């Protein structure tokens, strides 16, 4: 698998949208290629941040309502 192909599949890989065969290929490439591994970590971090930001926004909103 080429870097270009692997990177296109990293996002669906994180979202668990790939089949077993594709997942295995992406995993093999990402963990064997430092550039793609970095890319993978960045996307993972971004997805996590977006999700946690959404979560804390609602926490701020509900605590504002309480005060």
For residue 29, the minimal CB distance to Zn ion (Å) is: 6
- Does 3 engage in binding with Zn ion (CB under 5 A)? yes
Contact 36, 30 (CB under 8 A): yes
Comparing CB distances to Zn ion, the nearer of 32 and 55 is 32
Interactions with Zn ion, residue window 10-39 (CB under 5 A): 33, 36
For residue 6, the minimal CB distance to Zn ion (Å) is: 5
- Does 41 engage in binding with Zn ion (CB under 5 A)? no
Contact 36, 29 (CB under 8 A): yes
Inter-CA distances, 67 with 46, 53, 54, 59, 62, Å = 31, 21, 21, 13, 9
Binding site for Zn ion (CB under 5 A): 3, 33, 36
């Amino acid at each position: 698998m080429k870097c270009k192909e692997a990177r296109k599949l990293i996002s669906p890989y994180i979202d668990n949208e790939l089949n077993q065969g594709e997942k295995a290929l992406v995993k093999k490439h990402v963990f064997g290629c430092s550039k793609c591994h970095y890319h993978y970590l960045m996307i993972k971090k971004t997805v996590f941040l977006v999700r946690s930001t959404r979560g804390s926004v609602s926490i701020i909103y509900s605590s504002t309502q309480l005060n």
